[in-house]
Structure 1
């Protein structure tokens, strides 16, 4: 199998909503299509809603002063982002660009907040998802301070491989891996070579095959 997979283990807030509320929000939302590299949102934009990815992938991060984009997350179909800006009512703090062609839905802020008031159980689920996101973020930040780069890369690839049994294939570039790890491309390449030498991954153009995801996950924890 081969797919662009998300780089996070945290639950997406949209998935925590009641299924009836999800269906209502999708029916009343607006779908948009973006080309590869096209900007979906920018820092400073008003929080007029949040995004649900229907197809394709989105890189979330920030543009640096020199114009380079530094990704902090790679999200795929079924993921959502931008909810926190809606809750805070403050301008967005991250940029997002399409990775390949993508289809996304903008869930407008006011209809979402109004509808949420009728689903108290969803409100509780959202609080739980937010708490889990915060805990995982703190865990990730702590992990960035420890471990070798190959081990950190193994952990990232293991997450992106998902829970499916058998071999997995992750579509991602070296630069994207470097951005997600917070290292240079050369450092990411060295870590990839190390994992390849150990037989934990097989490298291809813009794609990494993982023969045994469980073995890769164990290496990340060693």
Structure 2
């Protein structure tokens, strides 16, 4: 996420000026169409980002956790927000004000270069995920999603997410998600738990996603 690429001094400065806000399970944090008066930094808990449809159903596109940030692109573009965000369980977030962020960024030229690099990397990752989701089988798509959520590295990891949330993120039914996870577990690439997925080898899971 973009906030993580900033200089640690700038991060500390921005956090000091942003009040910590608490949200209950299922509470709407932001809505599509709102003015982008800042971006959010998750301190604790988790946030589902997506869009509410006309039927009221929420279609998730990402599950974010502590240390993740979102909404920076709307601040840079000076355009209304394009996603809704809902608290998953109780959560604590800071709203980093747009003016405070842009004003402070001018004093940290290295952070401006780091942001450009982070934006480029994020775009490449997104294009790679889209290409994989279009061509891959459901188990491969599931592997790609979990590998991305587990983060970089080759060792074991654990992703706190339910099968229903995985289904929503991939745009498939829960039964299809369960079958895809079953295939990955049969190959010993994941182990299903209550509300979490254990990954014994992130590198192996990532390689399977490319098949």
Quick check: TM above 0.5?
A: yes
Structure 1: give runs of 5+ residues left out of the alignment: 1-11
Return the offset for 1:160.
2.5
The higher-RCO structure (CA 8 Å, 6+ apart) is 1
The answer to whether structure 1 residue 45 and structure 2 residue 34 are counterparts is yes
CA distance in 1, matches of 2:128, 2:152: 20
CA distance in 2, matches of 1:171, 1:163: 16
Q: Map 1:166-181; keep pairs closer than 5 Å.
A: 166-181=155-170
CA distance in 1, matches of 2:90, 2:12: 24
Return the offset for 1:143.
1.2
Q: Map 1:1-222; keep pairs closer than 5 Å.
A: 12-163=1-152, 166-222=155-211
Q: Cα gap change, 1:30/1:158 in structure 2, threshold over 3 Å: closer, same or farther?
A: same
Name the TM-score, length of structure 1 as normaliser.
0.88
Q: Cα gap change, 1:130/1:213 in structure 2, threshold over 3 Å: closer, same or farther?
A: closer
Return the offset for 1:24.
0.7
Return the offset for 1:204.
2.5
Return the offset for 1:88.
1.3
Count of aligned pairs between the two proteins: 211
Name the TM-score, length of structure 2 as normaliser.
0.93
Runs of 4 or more consecutive aligned structure 1 residues displaced over 4 Å after TM superposition = 163-166
Structure 2: give runs of 5+ residues left out of the alignment: none
Return the offset for 1:15.
1.2
CA-atom RMSD, angstroms? 1.6
Q: 3-state SS of the aligned residue for 2:172?
A: coil
